[in-house]
Each structure stands twice: as structure tokens, then as C-alpha cells.
Structure 1
Amino acid sequence: MRVQLSLMALLAVLASVAPVPAAAEGGPAWDACFAPTSTPDERVTACSTVIDTKSETGSRLAGAYCSRGHGFTEKRELDAALSDLDEAVRLDPDYACAYNNRGRVYNFKRDYDRAIADYDQAIKLDPSLALAYNNRGDARYNKGDLDGAIADFDAAIKRNPNYARAYANRGYVYARKHDTAHALADFSRRIKLAPDLIAYIDRGNVYRDTEQLDRAAADYGEAIRLAPTDARGWRNRGMIRLYQGDNKGGVADYDKALQYDPSDVFSWNNRGQARMRLGDKQGAIADLRKALELQLDLRTAQDSLRKLGAL
């Protein structure tokens, strides 16, 4: 029996911190407004200080609005972000970064046509901006234009051959098109450039979906090694162990997954399925009831509880 699993989000759009406008003095607030290491709250506070002093004009003021808009976007305060980025565009209509970041807000709002229009303008103003091609590819993917998305990710990679996120995004699209060879090549390149939890899970998912289960388990194991307190590696490997009939190993992995994320309905369901196969009726009932507590319409849990005479 194939075990139901949760779906991971496919694509991530990226923003650019506004490039620091040239000339003139900065100061602590100015520096924090534009520092890549600033948290969203720090960025919003610092940029607000810059804006409220009314000491900046033109492109420098546009930069502060753009950077604060980026901070608001990271906080998912999208209307505030949009207002700031509109102002950045008004102050400096040739500011590619502002169009790119505003496109990202529209993407989050699922207004993909406006997002694409802003990315088009960012690219027109700065044809070397790999980030804008990547983000436009994401918007096209969200509209279902898979070939257009691949073309944009190709363009992003052409402009930045070490752009790990663009390889990952193109890999997602190839996986969606069932082009396994290209998907694996892109995810492997992503791993070479930026080996992290998500990179290994992404490639592991392609191996899983093409029934290369040992390779999938190896990638999920590497994800666990890199991030042992993140539930995602554990629950993905647990699923593979259930596919392979290793119910004890699956229970052990789901124990860890639930230790780090007790809110994941599918981990409760899948551990319950494994316990049922192992003859642990009470343990299975407890897990499956917990799964239903989290998701009332979960059919696999309902059906299994009926088989156990517990529903």
C-alpha cells in the first residue's frame, strides 16, 4: 500500500536587497537598511529611520523604500511592501531592483501577470539581472507555462552559471514534465553548488518517484546528517522504509520526525500504518486517531481505524 505523504512547496522566489546607492555618507541606520545580514524587522526599522529623517532624495530615497519593501515582504506584510515599492518606482523609474522586488510581492499575491510585467521591466532595465529571470520563471511556472519557465531558468543560469536556486527551480519543472534525467542533473548540480537539506530532499524525491528507493533513502539520509533536528529528512526516509517493508525502521524514523514536528499529520498516519503492520494494535489506533484529530477527512486513517474496529 502506498503511504500518503505531505507535499513540499516547489519553488521559492527571491528578492534582492536594494543595491546601496552610491555617494554620500551612510550612518548606522543607512547601513542596517541595506545590510544583507539584517533581519526583516531590523531592515524595516532602519529604513524607516532613513525615510523619516527626510534627509534623502532621488535614487537614495528610492533605495530606502525598496529595501524597506523587501523587509515588509519577508514579514509577509504585502500591502505595506507594495506601497513602498510603488514609491521606489515613482522616485526612480529606472530602478530594476524595485521592479524585481515588486514582482515578488505580486507573485505572493498570486497576481502572476503583474509579476511577469514587473520582471519584464526589471530585465529591460538590467538584462544581466539573473535574479529577475529566475523570478519570472517562477511566475510562469505558477501560471502553468512550463516551457516558458525553463527558458527563463536557462537565461538565469546563462548569466550566473553558479546560481544554485535556478538549477533547483529548473529541476522542479523538469520533474513536473517527467524528464527525470534533466531533473536529476539539475538537482545534482544544485547539490554541488549548495549542499543543504532541501537540495538532498529534492533529488531524493525524484529518486522516490522513479522507484529508485535505495538512492532516495541515501539522499534523505544525507539530509538527516546535514540537519538532524529537521523533521523533513526523517519523515521522507521513514516513508521509503515503509515502501521497502522495513516497518521497524519506518517507525524509528517517524519517531524522530514527530519529535521535531509533532504537528505533521502524515507522520502520525504513516507511523500508525507501520504499527498496524507490526501488530501493535493499540499503538496504531493511537497514532491514527491523532492523525484524524489533525485532519478529520484523512481517508487512509479512517479506513485503517475501521479495519482495527476502532471507528
Structure 2
Amino acid sequence: MRVRLSLVALLAVLASSAPVPAAAEGGPAWEACFALASTPDARVKACSAVIDTKSETGKRLAGAYCSRGHGLTEKRELEAALSDLDEAVRLDPDYACAYNNRGRVYSFKRDYDRAIAEYDQAIKLDPSLAMAYNNRGESRFNKGDLDGALADFDTAIKRTPNYAMAHSNRGLVYYRKRDMARALADYTMRIKLAPDLLAYIDRGNVYRDSEQLGRAAADYGEAIRLAPTDARGWRNRGMIRLFQGDFKGGLSDYDKALQYDPSDVYSWNNRGQARLRLGDKQGAIADLRKALELEPGLASAQDSLRKLGAL
């Protein structure tokens, strides 16, 4: 899984499909079982068809179980995934993919020590497997071992320089270490390699915390352009606009954020603050009360309501 950002609720998972075991023919099911573009449902269905034919043995059968285990992991059917990956290891104890994918299952279970042990074995079997270093780095990060995580992301990038997720993950470590220059460099490389909503939000967060508000707003604007129905771009840009004193712009952004995610307590709170500064006392009270309904005890909402004589 992708390591979590401290300020943006997200969970992005790095795909770890099994490499296709060497050997000859396969049919459509075989191809779909290993195709990078297969959806988790399509992968599970295709790999099940391969397994059910009982025509494959050895490394090829281990590959089918490993790839189906990956699909099941993406579907969060973790026990079924673990069963498949255990079978892949039984069939081919030297198959690095199976250990790497089994590590991901344990990572989703938050058993990071066991996940790291699986990645260790994958790396022992295939020291060139950049994905295993990246995934081990994520587990180390989740244990709070920033230096160990950084070493793993460095190695993943050394093995595969254009590994977008490893750059993103290393950027997050630098961000946590408050090394903003290096964080910006890695996030900029991530955007160059695989521009998406999260890449721009990540870099926008660094610009925000570096008090480069114009650049932060521009990155959040790109996130909005790429994913206009995702609330995260709108609410992050809304915050910047409030910081800049653009309360009408902030209000407009929070309107959109709440349209796409009406459960976000901070969007209600911040829109209330924008309305308060624009002189809309009743609108502010309504928004702040909604924020308190979602999170009783929210200090900023309570303080503002007290000042308005509404609490």
C-alpha cells in the first residue's frame, strides 16, 4: 500500500503483478491472468480459469496463483489472497513474486514485521526487484523507521530510476523529515513520470508548508483539472485561498468540496469561517454547527460559535 500522507486522507496501492513465468503458449485466460491492464476482477477470473484447467504445473502454476493472489489483494479479500500466495510459495519456493505479494497482504493486515520478512526473502531471491525494496520501504515507514524506509526507496530508484511511486514515497519521507527541497525534487519527478491528482496534492502540500502559497494553489488547481469530482483538490485550494484572504474564492472551493464529499468536517468548518469573514453570520452558524455535528468537540467550531453567541 502506499504510505499515508499526514494531511490528506488517502490510500493508494502500488500494483505488484506477477511477472509472466517463462514458457510457451497460453490462451486468452493466460494472457488476461498476467496482463498489466487487467482489473482485479478480470485477473481473478482469468487466473481461476487457468488454475481450474489443471493443465499447468510448477512455475507456471505458481505464477497463476501469485497473480490471482495479487488480484484478490487488490479486492481486499486478504485471506483468500494469502491462501493463493502460500500455494505459490509451496509450488515454487524460489519465486520472488510470491513473497513480495504475500508481504503486501501482511502490510494490509498491519503486520509490518511479517511483511518486512517476506520482502527480505523476495530481495534475497531477486536483488534486482525494485518493487520489493519499495514495498519494504513502505512497511518500514509505517513502523516509524524513516531512515530504513529512505534507504529502501533509494535502492528502488537506483534499480529503476523511473519508478514513479518510489519517488513519491521517498518524497514523503523527505517531507516528514522537513527536507522540503528534496521532497519537492522527488514530487516533481513523480509528476513528470506519472502526473495524477495525488502527485499534485503531495507537491502542493510541500509548497503550502514552505509558504509558497501561489505555487500550492496552482498544484491544487492541477489536481482539480485532472479529477474535478474529487473533493481533495477543491478543499486544499480552498484552504490556500483563505490563507490568501480570498474568502469568496475559498467559499466557492468549499462549496465544490462539500458537493463531492459532504462528510468532511473540516470543509464545513472552513466554509463557515469563510462565510463569517464575508458577513454571512447565519450561514456561518449553520456550517459550524454541521462541523460540530460531525465532530463533537471540534475546538475551532466551538470557539467561533461562542463568539457568535450561538453556543
TM range, smaller chain: over 0.9
| Matched position secondary structure for 1:19 | coil
In the other structure, the counterpart of 1:128 is: 128
- For the pair 1:224 / 2:221, whether they are aligned, the reply is no
Deviation at 1:11, TM superposition (A): 7.1
* Alignment of structure 1 residues 254-293 onto 2, 5 Å: 254-293=254-293
Q: 1: CA distance between counterparts of 2:234 and 2:29?
A: 42
Counterpart of 2:111 in structure 1 is 111
Q: TM-score, length-normalised on structure 2?
A: 0.93
In structure 1, the residue matched to 2:3 is none
Distance 2:256 2:15 in 1: 34
Matched, 1:206 2:206: yes
User: 2-side partners of 1:124 and 1:9: how far apart?
Assistant: 34
Partner amino acid for 1:165?
A: M
Query: Which one is further off, 258-267 or 243-252?
Result: 258-267
Task: Supply the AA of the counterpart residue of 2:67.
Answer: S
Bigger relative contact order (CA 8 A; separation at least 6) = 1
SS in structure 2 of the partner of residue 94 of structure 1: coil
Deviates more, 1:101-110 or 1:284-293: 284-293
User: Displacement, 1:60?
Assistant: 1.2
Give yes or no for contact 1:292–1:302 (8 Å, CA) kept in 2: yes
Distance 1:134 1:296 in 2: 39
Query: For the residues of structure 2 that align with 1:75 and 1:122, how far apart are their CA atoms?
Result: 23
Tell me the alpha carbon deviations over residues 238-284 of structure 1, each in whole angstroms, 9 at most, x when there is no partner: 00111122111110111111222222221111101111121211111
Work out the CA distance in 2 between the residues paired with 1:196 and 1:269: 27
Equivalent positions of 1:1-311 (< 5 A) are: 7-9=7-9, 12-311=12-311
- List alignment gaps of at least 5 residues for structure 2: 1-5
Q: Distance in 1 between matches of 2:37 and 2:243?
A: 42
**CA 1:10/1:155 → structure 2, altered by over 3 Å: closer, same or farther?**
farther
Find the aligned partners of 1:205 and 1:139 in 2 and give their Cα distance.
Answer: 23
Aligned-residue offset at 1:9: 4.6
Measured in 1, the distance between the counterparts of 2:10 and 2:181 equals 18
Aligned-pair distance for 1:10?
Answer: 7.1
1:13 positional shift: 4.8
Provide the rounded CA distance (Å) in 1 between the counterparts of 2:80 and 2:309.
Answer: 53
- Say if 1:199 and 1:110 are closer, same or farther in 2 by CA, change over 3 A: same
Secondary structure, counterpart of 1:263 in structure 2: coil
Contact 1:15-1:100 within 8 A present in 2 as well = no
Deviations along 1:207-237, one digit per CA (max 9) or x if unpaired, are: 1112221221121122222222222111101
Superposition TM-score, scaled by structure 1 size: 0.93
Post-superposition Cα deviations, 1:96-149, rounded to whole Å, max 9, x if no partner, equal 111111111111111111111111111111111111111111111111111111
What is the Cα-based RMSD across aligned positions, in Å?
Answer: 1.6
CA displacement at 1:12 relative to structure 2: 4.5
The 1:162–1:13 alpha-carbon spacing in structure 2 relative to 1, beyond 3 Å, is same
Q: Which amino acid aligns with 1:204?
A: G
| Overall identity of the aligned pairs, in % | 85
1:138-192 Cα deviation digits (max 9, x unpaired): 1111111111111111101111111111111001000101111111111111112
Whole-angstrom CA distance in 2 between matches of 1:29 and 1:178: 48
* C-alpha contact 1:11 1:169 (8 A) present in aligned 2: no
What code does the residue aligned with 1:49 have? A
Secondary structure, aligned partner of 1:186: helix
